Amino acid sequence: MKATLTASSAASKFRKGRIGLLVFGLVIVALLMLPCSRTADSARLEETAGPGSLRTNTDLQDELKIWEDNDGQLTIKDVASPAMDSLFIPYKTSGLSGSIKGSTYWVKLDLFNASSRTRELLLELSKPHLSRVTLYQFDDERHFLRQTRTGRSLPFNERTFNHRNFIFNLSFPPESGQRLYFQIQTDSYLQLPMKLWETQSFIEREQRSGLLFGMYYGIMFAMALYNSFLFVSIRDRVYLYYVLFIVSFAVMQAVWDGFAYQYLWPEHPAWELKSNPVLIVLTCLFTCAFSRTFLSVPKYSPRVNKLMCAFIAGLVLTLPGMIFMSPGLCTKLAVYLASASILVCLSAVAAVRFRMRSVFFYIASWLVLFAGSTLNILAAYKLLPLNFLSLYSVRFGSVAETLLLSVALADRFNLIKQEKLLEEKQGILLKNLHEMTKKLTSTHDLDKLLHYTLISLSKVTACENGFILLKNAEGYVLNASVGSGLWEGLHLTELETEPFFGVLIREKRLLLHSDPGAASFRLIPGTKTCIGIPILYRDRVLGLVVLYSYFSKSFAESERVILRDFAGQIGISIENARLFSEINRMASTDGLTGVYNRSYFMSLANRHLSQCWSMDKPLSLIMVDIDHFKSINDRHGHFAGDKVIQETAKRLAELAQPRGIIGRYGGEEFVILLPGIPPKQAYRLAEIMRKSISASPVPLEDSNSIRYTISLGVAAASPDTSGITMLIDQADQALYKAKNNGRNCVKEYETTGHFA
């Protein structure tokens, strides 16, 4: 095809570029790509009058023709033969743009200089990710002129032009043309953005783009530095993740722009080939880590938090694995992980929703980046004009995203300051709560706890009278009072029928008698202030605190919040006091089987082992495992599996009496300590256990039963036994021998000697 580039259109574009430069890239200028007239053969370069022709540039993507060499065996001699011309198809309609293959691509471009003077031009291929590019130049008569090799698989200093993109010098004599063949190999997406430049126009373009690039990377560096200072001062990990995200994203953008290879690692082409996918994965990693912390996902959605942690761990494990992958496979994997990270972050937003103000900033920042990326992609596919906005939209979007997230983090910083001020205001309450907690820890007396609570709240609210009602199975009971206490005429059995208490119990919120719905409550004559505080634990009403005064009191919303939070602490303290005895019982036993849990068993076993050492007595240990327990769960369900575990523990405990100490070691594993029992006797006991279990099926509710077996490993303490952990490990090794021997058997760990 032949393209005519006029001086007037070039001058217009230059003026518009000057406007964009003067306002530092913040005014959006609609610079459309210069139109090109077409013929059937080649792009035509014509001399135009005036100096404007020196600023002319031509987009060549419409003129390119491509052919895919799947085997990569052809040479330039084969490709340049006339017989091959018919195999080349237009690049735009070939469907090869954006593909990642191991093929070799041959690209043909015909250019013709119709002017009466020699034209010295620059051809720019602005895709820095192409691994290898070889340019073969032929004249009109198909005579070979020269060959130029470049690509990011070669050291950067081997390039003819020290430039981030691939630049080729072309010379056109008057009234002559050239046929160019490009041999291209790439491990990234195939794209061929190609332009012809006159030197002066190219230099002017570089000046403008250099300013924009400098502004972009300067802003990113400033934001990274600013948030680094915040991290050092606040020690909040979210700032560290954000700094790492900015740095990885900026370096990734530098790889895309070609600056990273030009300035950061010009002598390392092997790393250059994999730098892009590695930095994509790093950016995804820090994005997910930042999103998880910034959105407080662990607080609002433990399930999504587990998903994000697993995905982050997968990204961490992927990075070292990329060392052994080909660059093309790394690129595909990075794209898949980037897509998955978007879904993971969206799931975090969906889980948190708008329960915190930071979500608005988060969504807005990513929408801006997404909008900028979309404009750039649409321009790449010619669905939008390639102008100033679409060309730099990704950078505008990333800068806007960085600024918005920085504003969000600044807002987070302000919230932290406000929380510190609130903490100072809560000093008295926290001090009282601390005193209550210390007394509770020492006494675990519910009556004392309630008395301390009522006294503390009376001081804070300046209400001299009050009482606490706790809920039991029959209703509410008076447990503590101060001042006048409970007034006459209040029926605890009909408490929910009273307007004030009814609203307090149903809505579970702090309530003043002056609030709507509570004004009809009958107060003691002369009472001016009455406040009700529900004592909640996990949204369940444990009791009610009622404080009243004969003097008028006013409570701001912040004071209500403090009192409500204080009541929540009271609920936890009350529940802890109630559960103290239950906790003591559960601390040493397994909830399902009733035998000792692992930690308590280890404590007992260590004491018995020490006694055996000091008294030179034997000590044996049996490790038990239910055979094929997973299949029991799969066939009969987990309820049946739990029953099998319970019955096994019960039978083992009965057979181990009177000396045996049994504990649950794992899911279906039990361990039995036998103080004073020599190994032979322990082996016989293990056999009895094995036979008893195999001969006694476990009945189920549906009249069926489960037959199963166990495997056992026996070990005995010896002078070489360093501790109970070593003895358990020996029994475990014997247990594995039993499993490897077909299960349903007993194996003994052989040692050189035992205690007498």
Average pLDDT of 675-694?
A: 94
pLDDT tens track for 357-416: 777 777 888 788 777 777 766 665 556 665 666 666 777 777 888 888 877 777 777 776
Architecture of domain 44-207: Sandwich (2.60)
3-state SS of 34-67 is: CCCCCCCCCEEECCCCCHHHHHCEEECHHHCEEE
- Out of 32-41, 522-531, 701-710, which region has the weakest mean confidence (pLDDT)? 32-41
Q: Are 523 and 517 in contact (CB under 8 A)?
A: no
Which is higher by pLDDT, 503 or 8?
Answer: 503
pLDDT greater than 50 at residue 335: yes
pLDDT category at 518 given cuts 50, 70, 90 is low
pLDDT tens track for 413-441: 777 676 676 566 556 655 665 665 566 55
Which pair of tokens denotes residue 450? 């309630």
C-alpha count within 13 angstroms, C-beta hemisphere, residue 646:
12
Superfamily the domain 589-748 falls into: Reverse transcriptase/Diguanylate cyclase domain (3.30.70.270)
- Please provide the average confidence, as pLDDT, over all residues in the chain: 80
Which is higher by pLDDT, 58 or 366?
Answer: 366
Q: Report how far residue 13's alpha carbon sits from residue 193's, in angstroms, rounded to the nearest whole number.
A: 19
Residue 351 CA to chain centroid, in angstroms?
Answer: 13
Q: Which distant-in-sequence residues (6+ apart) come within 8 Å of 366 by Cβ?
A: 345, 401
> Which residue, among 713, 720, 714, has the nearest Cα to 613 in the 3D structure?
720
Q: So what's the pLDDT on residue 310?
A: 94
Average pLDDT of 637-656?
A: 92
pLDDT category at 697 given cuts 50, 70, 90 is very high
Which pair of tokens denotes residue 474? 């029959």
Q: So what's the pLDDT on residue 380?
A: 55
Q: So what's the pLDDT on residue 30?
A: 28
Q: So what's the pLDDT on residue 332?
A: 85
pLDDT greater than 60 at residue 329: yes
Average pLDDT of 677-684?
A: 93
Domain ranges of the chain: 44-207, 213-416, 443-583, 589-748
Q: So what's the pLDDT on residue 733?
A: 94
Q: Report how far residue 432's alpha carbon sits from residue 435's, in angstroms, rounded to the nearest whole number.
A: 5
pLDDT category at 253 given cuts 50, 70, 90 is confident
Residue 462 CA to chain centroid, in angstroms?
Answer: 48
Q: So what's the pLDDT on residue 618?
A: 92
Percent of residues, the chain, with pLDDT higher than 70 = 83
- Highest mean pLDDT among 23-37, 457-471, 567-581, 724-738 belongs to 724-738
Average pLDDT of 724-752?
A: 91
Average pLDDT of 332-358?
A: 83
> Which residue, among 457, 466, 449, has the nearest Cα to 524 in the 3D structure?
466
Q: So what's the pLDDT on residue 25?
A: 32
Superfamily the domain 443-583 falls into: GAF domain (3.30.450.40)
Longest CA pairwise span in the chain (Å): 116
DSSP code of residue 260:
I
pLDDT category at 244 given cuts 50, 70, 90 is very high
pLDDT greater than 50 at residue 644: yes
Q: Report how far residue 11's alpha carbon sits from residue 619's, in angstroms, rounded to the nearest whole number.
A: 98
Q: So what's the pLDDT on residue 382?
A: 57
Q: So what's the pLDDT on residue 391?
A: 62
Average pLDDT of 615-628?
A: 93
Q: So what's the pLDDT on residue 3?
A: 33
Q: Report how far residue 565's alpha carbon sits from residue 558's, in angstroms, rounded to the nearest whole number.
A: 11
pLDDT greater than 70 at residue 516: no
- Out of 110-114, 316-320, 644-648, which region has the weakest mean confidence (pLDDT)? 110-114
Q: Report how far residue 714's alpha carbon sits from residue 749's, in angstroms, rounded to the nearest whole number.
A: 6
pLDDT greater than 90 at residue 261: no
At CA 213, angle to CA 27 and CA 188, rounded to 5?
Answer: 115
Q: Are 563 and 461 in contact (CB under 8 A)?
A: yes
- Out of 10-19, 243-252, 291-300, 741-750, which region has the weakest mean confidence (pLDDT)? 10-19
Average pLDDT of 602-626?
A: 91
> Which residue, among 678, 681, 673, 684, has the nearest Cα to 754 in the 3D structure?
678
Q: Report how far residue 138's alpha carbon sits from residue 170's, in angstroms, rounded to the nearest whole number.
A: 11
pLDDT tens track for 107-166: 999 888 888 888 888 898 888 888 899 999 998 788 888 999 998 889 988 888 888 899
Q: For residue 525, is it left (φ>0), alpha (ψ between -120 and 50) or beta?
A: beta
Q: Report how far residue 112's alpha carbon sits from residue 126's, in angstroms, rounded to the nearest whole number.
A: 22
Q: So what's the pLDDT on residue 134?
A: 93
Which is higher by pLDDT, 587 or 75?
Answer: 75
Percent of residues, the chain, with pLDDT higher than 90 = 23
CB burial string 199-230: b at 16+ within 10 A, e below: eebbebbeebeeebbeebbebbeebbebbbeb
Q: So what's the pLDDT on residue 2?
A: 33
